[in-house]
Structure 1
Amino acid sequence: MAPERETPPRERAVSGATAASRPRARLDQPRPPRRRLLPEWDPESFGRLSERVARFLGTGRFIVWMTVVIICWVLWNVSVPGSLRFDEYPFIFLTLALSLQASYAAPLILLAQNRQDDRDRVNLEQDRKQNERSIADTEYLTREIAALRIGLGEVATRDWIRSELQDLIREMEERQDGHRRGDGVFPADRSTGRDVHDR
């Protein structure tokens, strides 16, 4: 029988070291955040900021302030001496500033409108589900009311019981009158020839 080949201690140490040093994924702890090259931002906070900006751009206050700034800009660059002017007559810098403002305002307004459309879509979906529940509840109540009406048609009402009691009282009075006259209550009480033969 051939002797078993023994594993050298160096190989045992290397294989044991790699198995022990390999990090195992722990399921009870969250993963550490990964570093990213691009900056991160919260889309919700950015969306809220865009809605605030779009809301401010749609107010009369913004139009008044923008008009005041443009008038002051033009008056300054027309009336002050040439050394203090920073934007000469064609007002290229003013045009550039207004174009830059418009180029940022349009996407912000569109983003705010998209968020509003999403909210409206969610509200419409909730309203649709609420309407479906209301219709289902109404149909259920209609069926229950119809079942109650059918059930009440078979229940003895007070007027019906009163009329039945009056009929019973009338019948009992007729029987008492028949006893006083000597008549039997039922026709079988009257003696007939056929009854005698039957006995």
Structure 2
Amino acid sequence: MSESRRPRLDTPREARRPIVRRPTVDADAFGVFAESFARYMGTAKFLLWMTLFVAAWICWNVLAPGDLRFDEFPFIFLTLMLSLQASYAAPLILLAQNRQEQRDKVVQEQDRQANARAHADMEFLAREVASLRMAVGEVATRDFLRSELRGLMSDIEDLSRQEPEDEPGP
């Protein structure tokens, strides 16, 4: 190979255009849809509508004349439809649960951080209260000052009583 045809490591390659573009799906929008679907499937309203649908299906295929029935005994088409609905419902419910689990993890981490901050604040306040107690222990209290002043007052009174006796008369 000649020097000019050799690929250089210091220059990027030309970008290749893909022949087939892959479809893109907004995962968040699909997740929101899955959550709303799973939330709806967990309601009594859904169960009531599903029960009415199955009952109507069975009644139509049992009571209708033979040429108007679209699902003969043993209701194979109904079973197929219910299986199809379940096969789509299960992954959507799992997706909704996974998204809820991720949200729960985020909330749990935020709670843990808030608890750690609160614990650090409590430790700081406990140290501050302890230092204030030690500082107050070194400060003269009101009762101590009163007792000292009373002692000084009694000393002054004693001295004032002794002074007239010690003075020589005129």
Q: Which residue is equivalent to 1:102? A: 86
Greater CA deviation, 101-110 or 35-44?
35-44
What do residues 1-38 of structure 1 show as CA deviations (whole Å, max 9, x unaligned)?
Answer: xxxxxxxxxxxxxxxxxxxxxxxxxxxxxxxxx99722
Q: Residue in 2 aligned with 1:10?
A: none
How far, CA to CA, are the matches of 1:124 and 1:35 in structure 2?
45
Residue in structure 2 matched with residue 129 of structure 1 by the alignment: 113
**Map of 1:67-78 to 2, 5 A cutoff?**
67-78=51-62
Pairing 1:112–2:96 present: yes
1:57 counterpart = 2:41: yes
Structure 2 counterpart of 1:140: 124
* Separation in structure 2 between the aligned mates of residue 157 and residue 85 of structure 1, nearest angstrom: 100
Query: In 1, Cα distance between the equivalents of 2:45 and 2:153?
Result: 90
Q: Distance in 1 between matches of 2:150 and 2:19?
A: 95
Q: Does 1:66 align with 2:44?
A: no
* Aligned-residue offset at 1:79: 0.5
Q: Please give the residue correspondences for 1:1-199 in structure 2 after superposition, counting only pairs within 5 Å.
A: 37-182=21-166
1:30-55: per-residue Cα shift (whole Å, max 9, x none)? xxxx9972222211111010000001
2:112 is aligned with what amino acid? R
Query: How far apart are the structure 2 equivalents of 1:44 and 1:170?
Result: 86
The alignment partner of 2:68 has SS state of: coil
How many positions carry a matched residue from both structures?
Answer: 150
Q: What value does the CA root-mean-square deviation take over the aligned residues?
A: 1.5
Structure 2 unaligned regions, length at least 5: 1-17
Amino acid at match of 1:175: L
TM-score, normalised to structure 2, is 0.84
Where does structure 1 lack aligned partners over 5 or more consecutive residues? 1-33, 184-199
In structure 2, do the counterparts of structure 1 residues 42 and 35 end up closer, same or farther at CA, with 3 Å as the change threshold?
farther
Q: TM-score, normalised by structure 1?
A: 0.72
Distance 2:27 2:114 in 1: 30
Larger RCO, structures 1/2 (Cα 8 Å, 6+ apart): 2
> Shift in Å at residue 73 of structure 1?
0.2
